[in-house]
A and B are shown apart, each in its own frame.
Chain A
Amino acid sequence: MGRKVAIVGTGQTKHKARHSDMNIVELINQAVNRCLENAELTINDIDAILIGNMEHFEGINLSDMWASDASGALGRCGMKITTGGSTGTSLSSAAYYYTASGLFDTVLCVGWQKQNEGDTTAGLVSATDPIWERASFAGAFGTFGGAATQYMMETGLTPEDAAKVAVKNKRHGRLNPYAHLHLDISVDDVLRSPMLAYPIRMLDLCPASEGACAMIMTHEDNVKKVTDKPAWISASVCRHDSAFTGDPPFFLDLRTLRSAAKEAYATADIKDPMKDLDIIELYEPVTWAELSFLEALGIGEGGKVGELLAQGVTSIEGSLPVNLSGGVLCTNPIGATAMCRVAEAAIQIRGEGGERQANHKVNTALATGYGGNWWSDLLILKSSL
């Protein structure tokens, strides 16, 4: 392998529905500066900037060009990587590879979205095939609805189980000052919220947010000079699928994530994920996804994930907290969403989680990204390698 790489700083904006006081480049700049501050570095310590969003949402073509002074790319290597929902983890992995390769010593990656400046729905529709899928595509919730009915029938899990995910993550989100939604809700609130597409109700779904998230990575010889609490990258795996929404055999038994977990667990020496992982930051675009994606990670398989949730195992007090940040259900600036997962995993390892810090010491953290056509990214971070 190449050089060992660690995350040595994270920074994010407050995520909210509308940042009317900041334009796109100001938003990016705020996350970059907060990240530099957290790492106690300056832009002169950075060799390359990796940036990404979903271009159609704001209608800015080659958005990395406009952002070049705000992101710090000016006079450096600047590169744009975009893969839809998984943009943030695609950027995280790229920063890792560039640093490990020896091409750059210290790399900053930043994901952002200012969704409410444009037409999110139109942006999402244009993700689907123009010939085959756009006319019938019913937005994210239509696809998830169809997928969730299938998952319900196969596992016997119910809308109440899914609602508990929303209640848990919204409770975690209230402890996270950067989270977009700070909501105090009950299972009944979820089950009474407006039906979007059976069984998906309004409170089952993630919001549309504006925000940016950044991270800095550097290589093993440099890490000690920068921080005494690095979050080392132990595994980084990506799996894509084929070109049409209907291709994967089981919608919510995410074969891309299952395949990624197998490789990542082998690389990071995870034998029993329930025991060996201390926290998980999962990209759950909808409540149902947290249930089924955990199964794909080998946790609570066969529908038992509902019991784990009910017993509080995945809550902040539990032995394997999932989405201490509040998850995607609280915060969803798409180009930053997946990076928020990795950043939160690093924050927990670095002990910087404040009120939402896990009760136990976090040595091993798993973060996922989800996007495109049921694609998965998976990173495992450790306090030492």
Chain B
Amino acid sequence: MKKVGIIAVEQTKFEAARVESGFSDLVFETSGPAVKKAGLTRDDIDQIVTASQDFWDGRTISNFAVSEACGSYLKPESKVAMDAAMAVFYGLARILSGAYKTGLVTTHCKMSQGPQNVIYNAVFDPMYQRQLGLDFVNAHAFQARAYMEKYGVGPEQWAEVTVKNKKNALKNPKAMDGRELTIDDVMNSPMLADPIKELDCMPVSDGSATIIMAEEETAKKLCDKPVWIKGFATYMDNYYFGDRDLAEVGALEKSAKRAYKMAGITDPKKEIDVVELTEFFSYQEPMWAEGLGLCDRGKGGDLIKDNISTQDGSLPINASGGVLAGNPHTVAGMVRVIEACNQLTGDAGEYQKDGAKTAVVQSTTGPCGQSQCVMVLSTD
């Protein structure tokens, strides 16, 4: 298969509420600089893929609002209504089809603007689940408990994740919520839906992110160090919680297997240098790490203790601070891609992992990780 490279990335500083900025302001804040960074003008961008959610935006056809901000005037644009990593996948497919040489992928979300509980509750079907009052937190509490009971990874180990990621974020100027916390701070934070506590959850945040991609020759011409998308896979799991074992991560395991195969990775524990994954809740970091084959099942809780997933560990996970440090829904997966690119191009500043060559990115859409996607990025 032909190669496609990421040649420029840009993200906003994430904040709890970007009250002064509309959707188009937010998008242009990253799309404009990304195009310039790539050494291109709008004329050179062959196609655009956006990622946004009509429910979060409170707007039908949410890409409508960001038309000129994403540069789509008289250009082919399409909107992926999932996490933005899936939009990267579509941008990749469009280039691999041979129809286009370059692409801009952008995403935005302002979690601060809408009624979060209603938006979350609307994910559940109106016949059987909504009346249960399911929202994001209590739905995921089912999964956290299932994971804890089946694999023995529990609240104290999740608390370590929060402590680690918020601390990591202190070195990331784009992160919203970097701070020093103790395990006790997390354990003593208010219980929201047992076993999930306030400091186990992602904070509400606003922001946008953009990447520019190009096929091999164009990428090499424009960029000293393109980041190649070597593997990509996505799978969908069951919707009804009763239909699947919530402690299992089947869709993630399948995605990882296929993406690794495409990228020629046979031993993920050894061949990967950095990982950025989408942990909306602290319990998900060890759970997704297990699904990605970075450790054995049930051993995700030891990654911090063994100094593996820490910022200076052998396999840093979310050295950027991750979603727990504040990335909105939909944008979260794109920020993972950007952070992985920064690590591979040596642009990760104070949290750079020396000599990082291969990165794995994971993102998810839907309740309890229903849809999963895995991407392998490399400078080779």
Identify the A interface with B (CB < 8 A).
1-2, 23, 49, 52, 54-57, 59-62, 64-66, 68-69, 73-84, 90, 93-94, 96-98, 100-103, 123-124, 126-127, 129-131, 236-243, 255-256, 259, 371-373
Whether the pair B97, A55 counts as a contact (CB closer than 8 A) is: no
Q: Which of the segments B51-59, B151-159, B178-186 contacts the partner chain?
A: B51-59
Bound complex: CA of A68 vs CA of B80, how far in Å? 16
With A61-B53, A240-B76 already in contact, the answer to whether A102 and B123 are too (CB < 8 A) is no
Further 11 A-B residue pairs, CB within 8 A, beyond A62-B55, A69-B239, A78-B236: A62-B81, A68-B237, A68-B239, A75-B237, A77-B233, A81-B78, A81-B90, A82-B54, A82-B79, A97-B93, A243-B24
With A74-B238, A373-B67 given, is the CB distance from A101 to B127 under 8 Å? no
Interchain Cβ contacts under 8 Å between A and B, 11 examples? A60-B122, A61-B55, A61-B120, A74-B236, A78-B235, A81-B90, A98-B93, A236-B99, A240-B67, A240-B73, A371-B61
| Cβ contact within 8 Å between B66 and A240 | no
CA distance A327 to B365 in the complex (A): 35
Report the stretch among B282-290, B350-358, B366-374 that lies at the interface: B366-374
B77 interfacial contact with A, CB 8 Å = yes
Q: Does B79 lie within 8 Å of A94, measured CB to CB?
A: no
Nearest chain A CB to B153 CB, angstrom units: 25
- The answer to whether the Cβ of B131 comes within 8 Å of any Cβ in the partner chain is no
Least CB distance, A78 to chain B, in whole angstroms = 4
Q: Is B187's beta carbon under 8 Å from chain A?
A: no
- Say whether A129 contacts B72, CB under 8 Å: no
| Number of A-B pairs, beta carbon distance below 8 Å | 190
Nearest chain A CB to B99 CB, angstrom units: 7
Q: Does the CB pair B54–A54 fall under 8 Å?
A: yes
How big is chain B's contact interface, by range? 35 or more
Say which residue of B86, B96, B235 sits within 8 Å of A76 (CB atoms): B235
List, in ascending order, chain A residues with CB within 8 A of B95's CB.
Answer: 101
Which residues of chain A are near B247, meaning CB under 8 Å? none
A52 with B81, Cβ < 8 A, contacts A126-B58, A239-B76 known: yes
CB-defined contacts of B371 to chain A, threshold 8 Å: 64-65, 78
**Is B308 located at the chain interface by the 8 A CB criterion?**
no
A55-B81, A61-B122, A68-B238 known; A242 vs B96 contact (CB < 8 Å): no
Docked Cα-Cα span, A1 to B100, in Å, equals 9
Contact with A along B60-86 (1 / 0, CB 8 A): 110111111100111111111110001
Q: Inside 8 A of B90's CB, which chain A residues have their CB?
A: 79, 81, 94, 97
Kindly report which residue of chain A lies nearest to residue B48, judged by CB atoms.
A240
Residues of B within 8 A of A100 (CB): 96-99
B119 proximal to A (CB < 8 A): yes
Chain A residue nearest in CB terms to B68: A242
Residues on the B chain within 8 Å of A62, using CB? 53, 55, 81-82, 123, 365-366
Q: Which residues of B contact A372 (CB under 8 A)?
A: 61, 63-64, 67
Least Cβ–Cβ distance between B124 and chain A, in angstroms? 8
Is the Cβ of A243 less than 8 Å from the Cβ of B65? yes
Q: Is the CB of B78 within 8 A of A65?
A: no
Closest to B234 in A: A77
Q: Do A94 and B78 touch across chains, with their CB atoms under 8 A apart?
A: yes
Q: Is the beta-carbon distance between B66 and A81 smaller than 8 angstroms?
A: no
Establish whether residues A237 and B76, one from each chain, have CB atoms under 8 Å apart when the complex forms: yes
Q: Is the CB of B78 within 8 A of A83?
A: yes
B166-182 interface (Cβ within 8 A of A): none
Contact of A61 among B74, B79, B93, B123 (CB under 8 A): B123
Of the residues B22, B54, B64, B77, contact of A238 by C-beta under 8 Å:
B77
Q: Which residue of B lies closest to A236 (CB)?
A: B99
B299 within 8 A of A: no
A52 to B1, CA, bound (A): 28
Give the shortest distance, in Å, between A337 (CB) and chain B (any CB).
14
- Report Cα–Cα, A134/B370, bound state, in Å: 35
Say yes or no for B94: interface residue by CB 8 A criterion.
yes
Given A2-B98, A76-B235, A129-B65, do A65 and B81 touch, yes or no (CB 8 Å)? no
B contact residues around A73 at 8 Å (CB): 236
| Top-9 shortest CB links A-B | A101-B96, A238-B76, A84-B61, A100-B97, A61-B122, A78-B236, A1-B98, A2-B98, A127-B60
Asked if residues B67 and A65 are in contact (CB atoms below 8 Å), the reply is: no
Contact string against A for B residues 209-253, beta-carbon threshold 8 Å, 1 for contact and 0 otherwise: 000000000000000000000001111111100010000000000
Task: Tell me whether A242 and B67 are in contact (CB under 8 A).
Answer: yes
Q: How far does the Cβ of B207 sit from chain A's closest Cβ, in whole Å?
A: 20
Q: Which residues of A contact B149 (CB under 8 A)?
A: none
- The CA of A243 and the CA of B238, in the complex, are separated in Å by 37
Chain A CB within 8 A of B347 CB: no
What's the Cα separation between A372 and B81 when bound, in Å? 15
> CB distance A75 to B97 under 8 Å?
no
Asked if B194 CB lies within 8 Å of chain A CBs, one says no
Cα distance, A228 to B269, chains bound together (Å): 48
Is B55 within 8 A of A101, CB to CB? no
B234 / chain A contacts, CB cutoff of 8 Å: 77-79
Once A78-B236, A240-B73, A243-B65 are accepted as A-B contacts, the answer to whether A59 and B60 lie under 8 Å apart by CB is no
The chain B residue sitting closest to A134, CB to CB, is B59
Known A94-B90, A129-B65; judge A74-B74 contact (CB<8 A): no
Question: CA of A60 to CA of B125 in the docked complex: distance in angstroms?
Answer: 7
Tell me which residues across on chain A come within 8 A of B86, comparing CB atoms.
79
Q: Are A238 and B235 in contact (CB under 8 A)?
A: no
CB neighbours (8 Å) of A243 from chain B are: 24, 64-69
**What is the CB-to-nearest-CB distance from A111 to chain B, in angstroms, rounded to a whole number?**
13
A99 CB to closest chain B CB, in angstroms?
8
Q: Is the CB of A83 within 8 A of B61?
A: yes
When C-beta atoms are compared, the residue in chain B nearest to A245 turns out to be B64
Bound-state CA distance A372–B58 (Å) is 15
Instruction: Specify which chain B residues have a CB less than 8 angstroms from the CB of A79 in the assembled complex.
Output: 80, 82, 86, 89-90, 234
A97 to B235, CA, bound (A): 18
In the bound complex, do residue A130 and residue B64 qualify as a contact, i.e. CB atoms below 8 Å apart? no
Whether B53 contacts A102 by the Cβ 8 Å rule is no
Chain B residue at minimal CB-CB distance from A239? B74
Q: How far is the CA of A103 from the CA of B73 in the complex (A)?
A: 28
